[in-house]
Structure 1
């Protein structure tokens, strides 16, 4: 078993205006939008979803809300690295996903391939759930050699996909695709999506405020290969790159979602930062030049 190829949208977690509570109405609206535009599945409680900044109760609320508002399969992100903490997080959210659960996204927690393989196998055995391995060293602080990641993943039959976010990602994706029998998805906000597809990625699993662009690029690649996908993707790439700014990326994306009417407020939790006003002005210019984006005049936040 493996995850279906395509675009697995990574959901933002909307908050109230003051950032203190999860805005379940906005979360439901965002969830339904992904299903309406044709996403393959959804990734909940990822980095884009600020999962590490949510309480256990909030995480459960997020998963319950998403599961109640979609028929799409769900990948649930687990932020913890230590085995006991991973199992505690999983026990909290797995029941909320019910039959929607397609896999638990587990972080690379060691550069040692044997130790990582043992960890992944233990999580799979103890939870009884499929595993999606996320390699995101900028977030975890734990780099692993690509050959070692291949070795670790190949030893665990319960792994159903890899999300590769080790920069530069195209060489990593190429090596993972060559060495594994499970799909490999790109992330990093879509910044390398075209090249990841060219070296064999199964699609995208990432946060972007205009996921229609991810879908358009992946669909074009399937139809006409690199040239057709490049022609489509170039209209979205300026916004992709603009949103992927260290420190304010999440604030930019949430503001984009507000401008699109998909969430009500653009509040982020610390250490996320509110983008400067000039960046929000530039964001509006980018959005205005992005295909298929309709902006709201009655912005509720920002």
Structure 2
């Protein structure tokens, strides 16, 4: 089961589809193997970048079953939902087939501190005994969760064992939470998203690792390893080599298509298709990705 000691790289998995939009379970196996080979210490499926909203309930469960059966690391499953009944149903189903925990993002309808705390109290009841991750991603949800609110949720919900930190700017939030745990608050795992754009700084502030889906997951694993060894210069050198591609993949609206194209090019999945609705990459965009990949290879060769 997922707990407060989780660390490393929990790669956010894409959901592979064929060119005609069918779910590609064979590619789920290939993708799982790829992530593990590249240093993942955990996997997260059905997240916001996993096209979860485009899957039927049956497809969602089939993806989870396939990943859990293939992986020898903890698997976290996104169960965010407008209603608690559907959240309970999905959480119960995925935990029954071997998931290590679930992840919950707040709905855009909660705004005040009290509303956010009440929502998560009710969400905790909805998922029962499942350990869960609080997904803090205000750029998408529109919900701003202050450190004091996170601390209150952690205090009142013992099954909340991890924060998926995706606030931007958010480095001060990590510092505030770690300061609070140093002073006696319950310490939970903090894994960071945002495409790894700030991973070296997040590690230096006290994060335990990454939970994001950049198409080169070995980059996150290498940075986390270097940071944990106290070699922040090495961590930043690694980051610098990948930064142009990180930046390019972070484009709103197009980032997932870029990520899936790269994963297909790397052999992790058979096809980079998104299930409709979704953008298609132009020839110019593909040429830019290829140019960045070539330059990245040269930068990594110089790094050694």
Whether the 8 Å contact between 1:176 and 1:184 is mirrored in structure 2 is no
Whether the 8 Å contact between 2:257 and 2:272 is mirrored in structure 1 is yes
Whether the 8 Å contact between 1:14 and 1:263 is mirrored in structure 2 is yes
In terms of mean alpha carbon deviation, does 112-121 or 255-264 score higher?
A: 112-121
| 1:154 to 1:112, Cα distance in 2 relative to 1, 3 A | farther
Q: Which residue in 1 is equivalent to 2:14? A: 12
Whether the 8 Å contact between 1:80 and 1:89 is mirrored in structure 2 is no
The alpha carbon displacement at 1:244 in A equals 0.6
Q: Does 1:189 align with 2:195?
A: yes
Q: Which residue in 1 is equivalent to 2:254? A: 248
Q: Which residue in 2 is equivalent to 1:95? A: 96
Q: Name the TM-score, length of structure 2 as normaliser.
A: 0.88
User: Structure 1 CA distance, aligned partners of 2:44 and 2:120?
Assistant: 19
Whether the 8 Å contact between 2:117 and 2:149 is mirrored in structure 1 is no
Q: Which residue in 2 is equivalent to 1:265? A: 271
> How many residues are paired up?
289
* Structure 2 gaps, min length 5: 182-186, 300-304
Whether the 8 Å contact between 2:39 and 2:217 is mirrored in structure 1 is no
What does 1:76-115 align with in structure 2 at a 5 Å threshold? 76-96=77-97, 98=98, 101-109=99-107, 110-115=110-115
The alpha carbon displacement at 1:270 in A equals 3.9
Q: Give the match's secondary structure for 1:216.
A: helix
User: Structure 2 CA distance, aligned partners of 1:269 and 1:91?
Assistant: 26
User: Structure 2 CA distance, aligned partners of 1:275 and 1:165?
Assistant: 26
1:209 to 206, 215, 221: 215
User: Structure 2 CA distance, aligned partners of 1:151 and 1:121?
Assistant: 10
Q: Name the TM-score, length of structure 1 as normaliser.
A: 0.89
Which of the pair has the greater relative contact order for Cα pairs under 8 Å at 6+ separation?
2
Q: Which residue in 2 is equivalent to 1:65? A: 66
Q: Which residue in 2 is equivalent to 1:297? A: none
What does 1:135-284 align with in structure 2 at a 5 Å threshold? 135-180=136-181, 181-284=187-290
Whether the 8 Å contact between 1:83 and 1:119 is mirrored in structure 2 is no
Q: Which residue in 2 is equivalent to 1:288? A: 294
Q: Give the match's secondary structure for 2:34.
A: helix
What does 1:25-36 align with in structure 2 at a 5 Å threshold? 25-36=26-37
Alpha-carbon deviations, 1:55-108, whole Å to 9, x = none? 111101110110111111111111314322321332343323x2xx22110113
The alpha carbon displacement at 1:112 in A equals 3.8
Whether the 8 Å contact between 1:73 and 1:102 is mirrored in structure 2 is yes
The alpha carbon displacement at 1:262 in A equals 0.8
In terms of mean alpha carbon deviation, does 79-88 or 44-53 score higher?
A: 79-88
Alpha-carbon deviations, 1:132-163, whole Å to 9, x = none? 10011232232223332232223211111100
The alpha carbon displacement at 1:125 in A equals 4.0
The alpha carbon displacement at 1:223 in A equals 1.6
User: Structure 2 CA distance, aligned partners of 1:143 and 1:136?
Assistant: 8
User: Structure 1 CA distance, aligned partners of 2:214 and 2:143?
Assistant: 24
| 1:107 to 1:260, Cα distance in 2 relative to 1, 3 A | same
Whether the 8 Å contact between 1:102 and 1:130 is mirrored in structure 2 is yes
* Structure 1 gaps, min length 5: 294-302
